[in-house]
């Protein structure tokens, strides 16, 4: 054997040598397509890499796509952001909002932490120029945090709070929809906004008004559907459908939910489903009035029967002509019980193909249900609610005997669902309302319907009675995707923002 044959062959180390990343060899248009699948914070993280990727993270089209994805994934109200008027920095900050708030609420408290500190506080006295003595009945902050709907006893006021945290608040609404104009009644106190929706209507927003019957004038109960167009321009409201019920039906009516063109109504002990496009309706009786949880999903009605402590699923019968009013015998297809002392607080949210809701029992114990459509011939029911998660808020309340108010709508935020609660301790016998200890709490938990999802839950205080601005608020609303909290006493509105805008210029 020759000396050369004694030398063993050199190992192949080519895989250890530095070489060009395959990702960087891709054309810019392919890379921009890849960035569409990243979350906003992941896009920002690419600024720690190569110049080629850094340049892409400052592309306007990248952040336009990112914000559109955030709007869809979090169920935001589309007119919130004037996309083509926003700078790259504004697009980036808006897209980062849900992830930023999710991280804020999930970070563990440290030191003397009491709650999240607002980065901006603004207040204004809301003025209705046509009715200075108006009284506020309810407020609704549309997802995205820009538009606040203030319902008074005479009108629906549309307030533009802006998408920035440093903008000036106007005391006057930019649009006023008179209840008398919508209903044609001189006494608008009978008229209430029960429900609103967007995304499946020609206008920007669809409002559902209920009008209780009046025995004095022999006027039956009514439901009025009004679309509002061009919210970011010259707004206009238009009544698109009206349901006038005969005087023989119960006086009180409530719009509980809607799905497409179908509207779920409660008329005393009657539950009705009305198709506003075909003007057809069907009603069926229940053991008692269903004024709490009621959801219309997958052509089924899911409601809670307090007398039996059960969660019932009803298949919607075939709809028919308006007259005479069809009342069908319709026993529940599925009855789930017991629910362990259901309390009156319920929240739900529909997210595209998904529907889920929370039911509270035993003062702070919440059970989250996810609703799925059942395959044919599996059950009499077309759909079924499944327990997806359980969580306990009692540890965060101010006192065991405190009373709390849960916002009636769950909100999506990044990979979680946020529940907002105002909890107030009992008022001292010799104290004023504002002397009561209390908090406004935001709780986040995972959605719960995906197999393999890691379970998590966390909570943080947004406002507390140690804050000089604390009041026993009449109304409150919270949008986690923007970190915006709105509270009202009378006509006094206070807006607290909890997400600080970041600067992302190339110079920095």
For the chain (508 residues), the mean pLDDT of every run of 10, in chain order, is 49 50 75 86 87 87 94 91 92 95 83 79 91 90 96 94 90 94 81 89 91 69 94 92 76 86 86 92 71 80 78 87 73 76 61 72 77 75 83 76 81 88 74 72 76 74 86 91 94 94 60
Distance of alpha carbon 270 from alpha carbon 195, whole angstroms: 18
Q: What is the pLDDT of residue 101?
A: 94
> Facing residues of 368 across strands?
358, 389
Q: Give dist(CA 92, CA 500) in Å, integer.
A: 12
DSSP state of 195: E
Q: What pLDDT, on a 0 to 100 scale, did the predictor assign at position 287?
A: 57
Sign of CA dihedral 232, 235, 240, 244: positive
C-alpha–C-alpha distance, residues 109 and 456, integer Å: 16
CA-based nearest residue to 390, from 368, 412, 369, 417? 368
Q: Report residue 161: phi and psi, to 5°.
A: -85, -5
- Can you tell me the distance from the alpha carbon of 475 to that of 490, in angstroms, rounded to the nearest whole number? 9
Compute CA distances 53 → 26, 58, 324, 506, whole Å: 11, 9, 67, 13
Q: Rounded to an integer, what distance in angstroms lies between the CA atom of residue 325 and that of residue 248?
A: 10
Give the separation between CA 493 and CA 446, rounded to whole angstroms: 31
Output the pLDDT for position 141: 96
Among 398, 394, 418, residue whose Cα is nearest residue 465:
398
Amino acid 1: pLDDT: 47
pLDDT at 7: 46
Chain length of the chain: 508
Q: What are the distances in angstroms from CA 158 to CA 81, 171, 205?
A: 16, 11, 11
Centroid of chain to Cα 464: 23
3-state secondary structure of 95: helix
The whole model's pTM is what?
0.88
User: What is the model's pLDDT at position 249?
Assistant: 58
Q: Can you give the pLDDT at residue 350?
A: 63
Q: How much is the pLDDT for 504? A: 58
Looking at residue 32, its pLDDT comes to 82
Supply the pLDDT for residue 3: 47
């Amino acid at each position: 054997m020759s000396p050369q044959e004694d030398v063993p062959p050199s190992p192949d180390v080519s895989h250890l040598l530095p070489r060009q990343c395959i990702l960087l060899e891709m054309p810019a248009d392919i890379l921009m397509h890849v960035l569409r699948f990243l979350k906003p914070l992941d896009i920002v993280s690419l600024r720690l890499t190569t110049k080629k990727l850094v340049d892409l993270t400052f592309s306007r089209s990248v952040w336009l796509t990112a914000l559109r994805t955030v709007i869809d994934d979090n169920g935001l109200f589309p007119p919130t952001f004037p996309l083509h008027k926003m700078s790259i920095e504004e697009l980036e900050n808006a897209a980062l909002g849900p992830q930023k708030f999710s991280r804020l609420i999930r970070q563990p408290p440290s030191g003397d932490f009491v709650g999240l500190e607002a980065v901006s506080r603004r207040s204004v006295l809301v003025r209705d120029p046509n009715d200075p003595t108006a009284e506020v009945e309810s407020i609704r902050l549309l997802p995205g945090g820009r538009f606040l709907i203030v319902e008074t006893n005479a009108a629906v006021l549309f307030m533009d709070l802006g998408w920035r945290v440093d903008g000036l608040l106007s005391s006057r609404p930019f649009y006023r929809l008179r209840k008398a104009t919508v209903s044609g009644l001189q006494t608008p106190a009978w008229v209430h906004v029960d429900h609103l929706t967007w995304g499946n209507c020609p206008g920007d927003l669809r409002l559902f008004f209920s009008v209780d019957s009046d025995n004095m004038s022999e006027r039956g109960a009514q439901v009025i559907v009004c679309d509002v167009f061009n919210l970011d321009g010259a707004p206009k409201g238009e009544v698109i459908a009206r349901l006038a019920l005969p005087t023989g039906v119960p006086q009180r009516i409530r719009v509980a939910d809607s799905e497409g063109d179908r509207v779920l109504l409660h008329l005393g002990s009657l539950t009705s489903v009305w198709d506003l496009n075909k003007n057809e309706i069907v009603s069926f009786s229940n053991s008692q009035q269903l004024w709490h949880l009621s959801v219309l999903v997958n052509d089924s009605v899911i409601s809670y029967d307090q007398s039996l402590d059960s969660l019932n699923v009803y298949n919607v019968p075939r709809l028919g002509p308006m007259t005479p009013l069809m009342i069908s015998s319709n026993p529940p297809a599925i009855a789930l019980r017991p629910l362990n002392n259901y309390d009156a607080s319920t929240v739900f949210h529909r997210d595209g193909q998904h529907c889920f809701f929370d039911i509270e029992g035993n003062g702070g114990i919440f059970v989250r249900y996810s609703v799925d459509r059942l395959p044919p011939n599996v059950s009499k029911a077309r759909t079924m609610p499944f327990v997806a998660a359980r969580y306990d808020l009692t540890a965060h309340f101010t006192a065991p005997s405190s009373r709390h108010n849960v916002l009636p709508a769950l909100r999506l935020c990044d990979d979680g669902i946020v529940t907002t609660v105002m909890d107030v301790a009992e008022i001292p016998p010799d104290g004023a309302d504002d002397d009561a200890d209390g908090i406004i709490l935001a709780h986040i938990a995972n959605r719960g319907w995906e197999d393999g999802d890691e379970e998590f839950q966390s909570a943080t205080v947004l406002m507390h009675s140690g804050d000089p601005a604390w009041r026993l608020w009449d109304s409150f609303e919270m949008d986690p995707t923007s970190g915006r909290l709105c509270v009202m006493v009378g006509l006094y509105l206070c807006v607290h923002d909890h997400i600080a805008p970041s600067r992302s210029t190339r110079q920095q």
